[in-house]
Amino acid sequence: MHKVDLLLETKEAAAREARREREKQRLSRIFNSRHRTMGVDMEALRSQVEEWKLRVETEKRRDETYDAEQVLCDRVAQMLEEEERQRVRRLHQAVQEFREQEQPPHTRREWDLYNPEGLRLDRPARLSDYDPRCGPASLQRFAGEDLALPTRRRLQQCRSLEDQRAERQRARANAQYADTLEDKKRVELDLRAQQLAQLEEECRRAKDLATADYNRAQAAEAAEQHRLACQREQEDNQAEIHNHLTGQLLTEDPAMAESLLGPHRIITDRWKGMSPKQVEAVWKAQEEQRRENQRLREAERQREAEWEAQRQLAARAAMALEEKERLSRLQLRKGLDAYNQQLAQEQRAQQQYLQREVYTNPPSAQYHLQFNTSSR
């Protein structure tokens, strides 16, 4: 019984020793860098190289076959694409010919949108101040605009020139009439002088015969001349007084200051001021404007007061919201502080537990030396 046990132990010890020897040899081979890098199996490497070359050649032939098939497919695809392009080109050409023959641009419904001559042929948005198309929504006619201003100015200039021409013609006619009257008066005086000369000649002839008659005739003639002179002077004075009384200077007729350009225009050199009715109308208009301005100021003041009340209400509401938000932030901050404190306490407890209960056996240097000591 004891002999069998000894024999088994001897075999086991020999086996263990053989394993240790093989392990030492294997360790010497593995941990020997020179033997590991230079002592390689050349046959295995050659077979691997041959396999790699065969694989490369096979892949190369396969790639060449694929390339040839790809070139053939590309050529077929190009032919098909060219055929499709020609077909599409013929179709587009046919469509274009149909459009040019059957659908010219001027027969299309939207021709007025892209007609190059549309702007030149179209009517302008506004022809004059009295264009019926220019309503309130057309934004073409505004208060204060006057498109007929150049035409009206030309008409005014022409009318002013015609008035000046008529005035000059009247002045020329008056001058001619005055010259005619003066010529007639001069002729009358010449005739009268001839008559006087004749009378003087007769008197001279009949001087001896009728000296007394000649003296009486001379006295009567002198009296007649004086009477005629006084009469002419009186007539001239009456005509002058009548002209002054009925003229534009003293009568101050408002109608004389009215302009031909319109009822609201006046002639400044003839205007003598506003009438009482016009002054009263101006005062009434000013009073209406003052009342309107006062009403507008009252409305503006009331509107400002309402806006001020709205601003105060908005400010109060904003302050209330800010206070509510501040309280909510304060409550949230308190909750976060309490939660952070709780987390800190839990983390401290976790660290104490790890240090006291879990990490009680820290590894020593001997623990790290047991690694990399075997080939397994």
Picking from 244, 241, 245, 263, the residue whose alpha carbon sits closest to that of residue 254 is 263
Are 204 and 214 spatial neighbours (Cβ–Cβ below 8 Å)? no
Which pLDDT value is given to residue 10?
Answer: 83
CA angle, residues 52, 57, 61, in degrees to nearest 5: 150
Q: Express each pLDDT in 47-59 by its tens digit.
A: 888 889 998 998 9
Are 371 and 19 spatial neighbours (Cβ–Cβ below 8 Å)? no
pTM of the model: 0.24
CA separation, residue 88 to residues 38, 70, 77, 100, 341 (Å): 71, 26, 16, 18, 78
Q: What is the mean pLDDT of residues 263-280?
A: 75
Q: What is the mean pLDDT of residues 275-301?
A: 90
Using pLDDT thresholds of 50, 70 and 90, give the confidence band for residue 279. confident
Distance of CA 70 to the CA centre of its chain: 60
Which pLDDT value is given to residue 121?
Answer: 78
Cα–Cα dist 111/97, whole Å: 19
Q: State which amino acid sits at residue 172.
A: R
Which pLDDT value is given to residue 143?
Answer: 67
Q: Express each pLDDT in 200-244 by its tens digit.
A: 787 777 777 777 777 788 888 888 888 889 988 888 888 888 776
The tokens for 39 are 């002592």
Cα–Cα dist 29/36, whole Å: 7
**Torsion, Cα of 167, 170, 176, 179 (10° steps):** -80
Q: Express each pLDDT in 137-184 by its tens digit.
A: 776 766 666 666 778 788 888 888 888 888 889 888 888 888 888 888
Q: What is the mean pLDDT of residues 325-354?
A: 90
Which pLDDT value is given to residue 105?
Answer: 81
Between the two ends of the chain, the Cα-to-Cα distance in Å is: 37
